[in-house]
């Protein structure tokens, strides 16, 4: 049964007593919004209507989560601050004598939010307030970027991945229980004893290649035995998932040498699993020198208000540009706004993204993203003139050729290949820099998205592009602010709870920005929150409850 905040104030109500929490601080501004910041009725579907004892008010717990991620503290520390920290008491509007609650209540509340798909609640509610207050327009320009964040599991080598994977699989199938072990074969009993009873850790000289090879052979054989054992329980989705993970580790990390013995594979698979505890973690890189392990977090902010409109994780091994269209869809679907333009770095400027933005049936999107700077502009592909209608290409020195071949993709987009005459190319002073082939002259292949890419190259030379692109730094500043509040420290396993952490942190940072904007414009946020609670709600395409806009 849902619990609700009591309207009757306590004699020791912290807001009615003198205190030293600055009214313009984050805590003071949050406290002035009081119990109106979050509404108990908004989350009533998470609770039984007529059974059980009353819960802790969901509006209170939402506020605690907001503060917890803003201050980057654990559940236990969050509850301690509710009890003893005057700043938190002011922000939450609780009395000096408030008795608190057990830290596990926060874990239960997060689980409820995820199970009912309400992890966006605080984030979307504050953006609703922004729209009602006129701080967020109906049409927006997004500034977008990604940053690396840590995973919540330890990064493990192949030996540890296989050992822990075997142990986890055996226990998942129940073979650590005495009753399950009865009647097992001698090989199965050895496997259980080695990995469950003893948690097999080899006492080996890991500096000796021969010993490492011997240990790998044992682990591979035991992995295959455990997978064979798991076939009997393949109907269990958890067993099937973990079995697939072990098989993937074997496929990515292990290869067979000329003697038929297993050895560590050369190179690193792009989608390599790096942790049994957090199997969604991946190796990633932001540049050639900046490598990391964990995830990327994509952040999109509104250019005009600097409010965060979308924040979500994507795989560390995935290119930044893959997050663009999903981010646009979430912003429009969950907030009911129209994205007019997007400004992002070169990672977002793929031909696929440019085509997807420009060819939207309704509300095409202007994408401002720079093309790479060529190492040798004089002989770069961009220096050639290509007439796609006439299917001709002209080199910087005036040699013109027709397309020698063409093909179409699934969407009927055409690409052409142009081969220049080698004899003519040899007379050109640019030959050594321009031509790599020993049998032909310069070869040029157009992209399926050639028109979009060439238009982008021309546009980025304009002063208008350069002036607007300079605004992209604002999203980097917003990411830096998120990092100071613990963005890089992933606390939970699983995509849903990770996104809950990102969204509540984004909501906290947005609250700070909303309060500043409202103060500058003389807007009464408390009145807007009260009015918002009385409005009829409608469901947006993303499933978010939004007020009917007048």
User: Interhelix angle for 58-71 vs 26-33, to 10°?
Assistant: 170
**Which residue in this structure is represented by tokens 């009464």?**
524
DSSP, res 95: B
pLDDT at residue 126, rounded to an integer: 94
Q: How many Cα atoms sit within 13 Å of 228 on the Cβ side?
A: 9
Residue 94 lies in a domain: yes
Strands 139-150 and 338-343: parallel
Same domain, 38 and 114: yes
pTM of the model: 0.88
Q: How many Cα atoms sit within 13 Å of 59 on the Cβ side?
A: 20
Residue 256 lies in a domain: yes
Same domain, 392 and 426: yes
Same domain, 89 and 163: no
Sign for the CA dihedral angle at 242, 246, 247, 253 comes to positive
Same domain, 176 and 132: no
CA distance 356 to 367: 10
- State the residue range of the domain holding 424: 381-448
Same domain, 37 and 92: yes
Same domain, 94 and 171: no
End position of a domain, from candidates 448, 467, 484: 448
pLDDT at residue 70, rounded to an integer: 96
Same domain, 108 and 38: yes
Residue 469 lies in a domain: no
Residue 251 lies in a domain: yes
Catalogue the E-assigned strands of 222-325: 254-256, 262-264, 282-285, 291-302, 308-315
End position of a domain, from candidates 236, 264, 292: 264
Same domain, 198 and 130: no
Same domain, 134 and 18: yes
Same domain, 133 and 165: no
Which of 504, 481, 478 is closest to 491 using CA atoms? 504
Residue 310 lies in a domain: no
DSSP letter string, 28-57: HHHHHHGGGSS-GGGGGGGS-SSSSS----
Residue 168 lies in a domain: yes
Residue 203 lies in a domain: yes
Same domain, 133 and 228: no
Give pLDDT tens digits along the chain (550 positions). Answer: 787 766 656 655 666 667 788 888 999 899 888 778 898 888 999 988 878 788 899 999 999 999 999 999 999 999 999 999 999 998 998 888 888 899 999 999 999 999 999 999 999 999 999 999 999 999 999 999 999 999 999 999 999 999 999 999 999 998 888 888 777 888 888 888 888 877 666 677 888 888 899 999 999 999 999 999 999 888 999 999 999 999 999 999 999 988 889 999 998 888 899 999 999 999 998 877 888 999 999 999 999 999 999 999 999 999 999 999 999 999 999 999 999 999 999 999 999 999 999 998 888 999 999 998 888 888 888 889 988 888 899 999 899 999 888 877 666 777 889 999 999 999 999 999 999 888 899 999 888 888 888 889 889 989 999 999 999 999 999 999 999 999 999 999 999 999 999 999 999 999 999 999 999 999 988 888 887 765 544 445 444 545 544 4
344-371 CB burial, b ≥16 within 10 A, e <16: bbebbbbbbbbbbbeeeeeeebebbbbe
Q: 148 pairs with which residues across the strands?
A: 296
CA 26 → CA 22, 39, 91, 249, distances in Å? 9, 20, 8, 46
Same domain, 236 and 182: yes
End position of a domain, from candidates 426, 448, 470: 448
Question: Residues 549, 55: contact at Cβ < 8 Å?
Answer: no
* Tens digits of residue pLDDT in 355-371: 999 998 888 999 999 99
Q: How many Cα atoms sit within 13 Å of 311 on the Cβ side?
A: 32
Residue 209 lies in a domain: yes
Name the burial class of residue 265, with classes exposed (0-12), middle (13-18) and buried (19+) by CB atoms within 10 angstroms of its CB: middle
CA 370 → CA 324, 374, 391, 522, 532, distances in Å? 15, 12, 26, 39, 41
Q: How many domains does the chain have?
A: 3
């Amino acid at each position: 049964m849902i619990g609700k905040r009591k309207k009757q104030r306590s004699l020791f109500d912290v807001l009615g007593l003198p205190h030293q929490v600055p009214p313009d601080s984050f805590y003071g501004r949050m406290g002035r919004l009081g119990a109106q910041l979050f509404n108990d009725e908004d989350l009533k579907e998470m609770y039984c209507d007529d059974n059980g004892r009353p819960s802790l008010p969901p509006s209170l717990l939402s506020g605690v989560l907001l503060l917890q991620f803003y201050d980057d503290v654990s559940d236990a520390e969050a509850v301690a601050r509710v009890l003893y920290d005057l700043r938190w008491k002011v922000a939450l509007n609780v009395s000096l004598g408030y008795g608190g609650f057990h830290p596990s209540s926060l874990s239960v509340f997060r689980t409820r939010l995820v199970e009912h798909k309400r992890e966006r609640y605080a984030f979307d509610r504050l953006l609703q307030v922004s729209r009602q207050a006129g701080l967020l327009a109906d049409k927006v320009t997004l500034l977008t970027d990604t940053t690396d964040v840590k995973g919540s599991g330890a990064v493990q080598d192949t030996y540890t991945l296989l050992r822990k994977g075997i142990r986890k699989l055996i226990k998942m199938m129940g073979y650590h229980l005495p009753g399950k072990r009865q009647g097992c074969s001698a090989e199965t009993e050895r496997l259980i004893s080695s990995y469950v009873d003893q948690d097999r850790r080899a006492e080996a000289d890991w500096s000796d290649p021969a010993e490492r090879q011997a240990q790998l052979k044992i682990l591979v054989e035991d992995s295959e035995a455990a997978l064979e054992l798991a076939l009997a329980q393949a109907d269990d989705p958890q067993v099937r998932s973990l079995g697939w993970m072990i098989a993937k580790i074997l496929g990515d990390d292990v290869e067979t040498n000329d003697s038929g013995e297993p050895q560590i594979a050369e190179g690193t698979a792009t989608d390599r699993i790096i942790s049994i505890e957090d199997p969604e973690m991946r190796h990633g890189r932001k540049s050639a020198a900046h490598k990391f392990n964990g995830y990327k977090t994509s952040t999109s902010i509104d250019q005009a208000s600097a409010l965060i409109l979308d924040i979500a994780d994507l795989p560390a091994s995935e290119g930044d540009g893959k997050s663009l269209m999903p981010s646009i869809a979430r912003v429009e679907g969950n907030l009911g706004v129209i994205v007019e333009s997007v400004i992002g770095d070169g990672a977002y400027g793929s031909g696929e993204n440019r085509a997807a933005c420009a060819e939207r049936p309704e509300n095409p999107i202007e994408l401002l993203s720079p093309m790479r700077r060529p190492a040798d502009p004089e002989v770069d592909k961009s220096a050639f003139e290509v007439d796609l209608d006439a299917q001709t290409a002209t080199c910087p020195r005036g040699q013109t050729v027709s397309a020698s071949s063409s093909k179409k993709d699934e969407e009927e987009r055409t690409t052409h290949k142009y081969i220049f005459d080698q004899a003519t190319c040899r007379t050109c002073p640019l030959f050594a820099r321009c031509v790599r082939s020993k049998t032909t002259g310069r070869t040029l292949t157009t992209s399926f998205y050639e028109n979009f890419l060439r238009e982008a190259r021309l546009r980025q030379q304009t002063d208008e592009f350069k002036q607007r692109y300079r605004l992209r730094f604002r999203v980097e500043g917003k990411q830096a602010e998120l990092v100071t509040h613990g963005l890089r420290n992933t606390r939970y396993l699983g995509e849903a709870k990770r996104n809950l952490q990102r969204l509540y942190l984004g909501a906290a940072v947005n609250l700070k920005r909303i309060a500043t904007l409202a103060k500058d414009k003389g807007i009464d946020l408390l009145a807007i929150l009260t009015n918002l609670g009385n409005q009829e709600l409608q469901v947006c395409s993303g499933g978010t409850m939004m007020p009917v806009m007048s």
